């Protein structure tokens, strides 16, 4: 049995999480859109929305996927973007999670977002809240939602526009103002998120309790 079944291992947080898993010599299987040359083929399965092959036996499902949005689209999305975003961040994730639950995987961890709320007027936060609600309705023994603010880390240049640069500039010089209940809105390193995620999966104390919500069924 694999320790982890991972979706999104080629992304920013997912790749860092995978590196931690490998350093600790934990077993894993990756579901991907394209094969990773550096990984053993036996550890990889190609999938798309219409075809998600049967999962190998695994202890924890980790989902780090998300539709790539421009910074301003986090605030307002045009209708065509909304459709693509929902198809990935709600339809696809709910399909993956339901398949995992039906196939006997008992623990799930998913990257969500700070401020997620199914009743939010912000479409991005609303969908994040709705997928959390959907996952809570499934038959998992342990559910982990990781809710970071803006993630810092190495990104493709095409993903870094002027707004991202401004957010990261102000975060660097004025981040000290984000204290107390505002701390959760502070920019955060993706490497920190992946480290804290692995800690809570392994039932260790997290250094950033505001980052992670955990639900366990008796």
Amino acid 184: pLDDT: 85
> Does 218 score more than 80 pLDDT?
no
Amino acid 179: pLDDT: 82
Amino acid 71: pLDDT: 84
Q: Are strands 44-46 and 58-63 parallel, antiparallel or unpaired?
A: unpaired
Residue showing tokens 């103002």 = 177
> Within a 13 Å sphere around the CA of 201, how many CA atoms are in the beta-carbon half?
26
Q: Which domains does the chain have, with CATH numbers?
A: 2-148+190-216 (3.40.50.720)
Q: What is the largest CA-CA distance in the chain?
A: 48
Residues composing the chain:
218
Percent of the chain clearing pLDDT 90 (strictly above): 73
Given CA atoms 177, 183, 184, 186 in this order, what sign does their dihedral have? positive
Q: What is the mean pLDDT of residues 106-121?
A: 97
Q: What is the mean pLDDT of residues 58-80?
A: 93
What confidence tens digit (pLDDT) does each residue in 143-199 have?
Answer: 999 999 988 877 766 666 676 666 666 667 666 777 878 788 888 999 999 999 999
Per DSSP, 51 falls in state B
Amino acid 156: pLDDT: 67
pTM of the model: 0.92
């Amino acid at each position: 049995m694999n320790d982890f079944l991972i979706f999104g291992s080629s992304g920013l947080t997912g790749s860092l999480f995978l590196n931690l898993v490998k350093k600790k010599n934990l077993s894993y299987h990756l579901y991907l859109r394209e094969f990773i040359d550096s990984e053993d083929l036996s550890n990889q399965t190609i999938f798309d929305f219409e075809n998600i092959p049967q999962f190998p036996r695994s202890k924890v499902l980790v989902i780090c996927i998300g539709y790539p949005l421009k910074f301003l689209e986090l605030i307002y999305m045009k209708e065509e973007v909304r459709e693509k975003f929902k198809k990935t961040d709600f339809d696809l994730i709910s399909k993956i999670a339901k398949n995992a639950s039906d196939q006997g995987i008992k623990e799930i961890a998913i990257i969500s977002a700070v401020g997620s709320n199914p009743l939010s007027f912000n479409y991005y936060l609303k969908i994040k809240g709705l997928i959390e609600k959907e996952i809570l309705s499934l038959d998992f023994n342990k559910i982990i939602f990781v809710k970071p603010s803006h993630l810092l880390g190495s990104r493709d240049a095409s993903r870094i526009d002027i707004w991202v640069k401004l957010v990261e500039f102000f975060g660097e010089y004025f981040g000290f103002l984000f204290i107390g209940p505002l701390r959760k809105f502070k920019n955060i390193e993706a490497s920190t998120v992946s480290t804290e995620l692995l800690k809570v999966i392994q039932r260790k104390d997290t250094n950033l309790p505001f980052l992670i919500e955990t639900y366990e069924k008796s």
